[in-house]
């Protein structure tokens, strides 16, 4: 289960209702979603890194694909998310 929470006055307060029994013990892992990630390796599983090593897309192909976006990349991502 993954959920967002806010830390207030010494207590983590979930931003959504959780289906947990009263007094249920849980293990919590804290990730600061607002902070930039210092080590990108933390974002991927080892098998994803292995797969990426065999990716043969050239820098020229990436540049060509990016140049085909008529507006900014940020605007294209936002538009794509809005379409979902």
Quick one: CA dihedral 48, 56, 72, 80, positive or negative? negative
Whether 47 contacts 54, CB under 8 Å: no
Instruction: Say what the pTM is.
Output: 0.35
Domain boundaries, the chain: 5-33+43-83
Residue tagged 């919590």 (tokens):
28
Whether 66 contacts 73, CB under 8 Å: yes
Spatial separation of the C-alpha atoms in residues 73 and 62, rounded to whole Å: 13
Angle at 41 (CA atoms; ends 35, 43), nearest 5 degrees: 60
pLDDT, tens digit, 9 for 90 and up, residues 42-51: 778 888 888 8
> Which residue has better confidence, 71 or 21?
21
Is pLDDT above 80 for 35? no
Is pLDDT above 70 for 57? yes
């Amino acid at each position: 289960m993954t959920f967002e929470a806010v830390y207030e006055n010494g207590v983590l307060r979930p931003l959504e209702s959780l289906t947990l029994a009263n007094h249920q013990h849980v293990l919590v892992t804290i990730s600061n979603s607002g902070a930039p990630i210092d080590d990108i390796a933390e974002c991927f599983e080892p098998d994803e890194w292995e797969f990426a090593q065999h990716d043969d897309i050239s820098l020229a192909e990436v540049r060509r694909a990016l140049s085909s976006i008529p507006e900014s990349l940020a605007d294209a991502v936002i538009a794509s998310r809005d379409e979902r």
